[in-house]
Amino acid sequence: MTLDDGSTTITLPDSMEWSDEFEWSDVKQEITKTIGGGMVVEEATVAAGRPITLVSGEQVWVLKSVLDSLLTLINTVDKTYTLTMPDLSTHTVIFDRTSGSPYSAKPVWRKFTHEATDYFTLTLRLTKV
């Protein structure tokens, strides 16, 4: 699995789980109740906005050096990225900053100072555009 901005490619573990893959519908709906007790239903197909949350976990770890590279991309404003999944499908994405940080990481082994070769679990929050 890779995340690419055209000049930098970051390789992520293929075993990261797309945790919200089946929590999305391309059709959105809004229901408005009328004064007379009826309702108005509006539906439309949505072209963008699908969340892609990638989660590592048990024995699916990311090196600190990869986190450092991700932070460089995360701290860049107004960029889109190509996410290539293990099945070779591609998605144009941005980092999802709507709920705060677009990522969270925790060390597999706790210590005061971490080296580039230390492992972390990672949650990466992206949005399709």
67-92 residue pLDDT tens? 999 999 999 999 999 999 999 999 99
42-68 residue pLDDT tens? 999 998 999 999 999 888 999 999 999
Is the Cβ–Cβ distance between 121 and 108 less than 8 Å?
A: yes
Is the Cβ–Cβ distance between 112 and 58 less than 8 Å?
A: no
DSSP designation for 43:
E
**According to the model, what pLDDT value does residue 25 have?**
92
In 3-state terms, what secondary structure has residue 22?
A: coil
DSSP for 52-107 reads EEEE-BTTB-EEHHHHHHHHHHHTSSS--EEEE-TTS-EEEEEE--TTS-SEEEEE
In 3-state terms, what secondary structure has residue 38?
A: coil
Question: Looking at the predicted structure, is the pLDDT value of residue 9 above 90?
Answer: yes
Domain boundaries, the chain: 2-128
